[in-house]
Amino acid sequence: MKVEIKQTRLEFDGFAKVESAVLRFERFNGGMTEEMTRHRYFRGDAVAVLVFDPATERVVLQRQFRYAAHVRTGDGWLTE
């Protein structure tokens, strides 16, 4: 999916780094979002937990855009 990064700026460069970005990304229907600001906190890789309801035997997932994942991998759409 298409991502347009209009501007990036290093907001903080101390113990950790924080970057802000003005961007738009393609929606599932093909249209583009309005410009928005997203932040990236440089902290390395992360871990996830999958929540399972044994009573219904279901897991709820959603697919959404994550700026930090886009910058790191080129594909910001994650299933969470």
Average model confidence (pLDDT) for the chain? 89
Q: Which residues contact 47 (CB under 8 A, 6 or more apart)?
A: none
Place 2 in a pLDDT band, splitting at 50, 70 and 90.
very high
- Please report which confidence band the pLDDT of residue 60 belongs to, taking 50, 70 and 90 as the band edges: confident
Q: What is the pLDDT of residues 19-47, one digit of tens each?
A: 999 999 999 999 999 999 999 988 766 66
Residue 51 pLDDT level (bands cut at 50, 70, 90): confident
pTM for the full predicted model: 0.66
Report yes or no: 48 and 62 within 8 Å, Cβ to Cβ.
no
**Domain ranges (residues) in the chain:** 3-79
CA pair distance 51, 10, nearest whole angstrom: 35
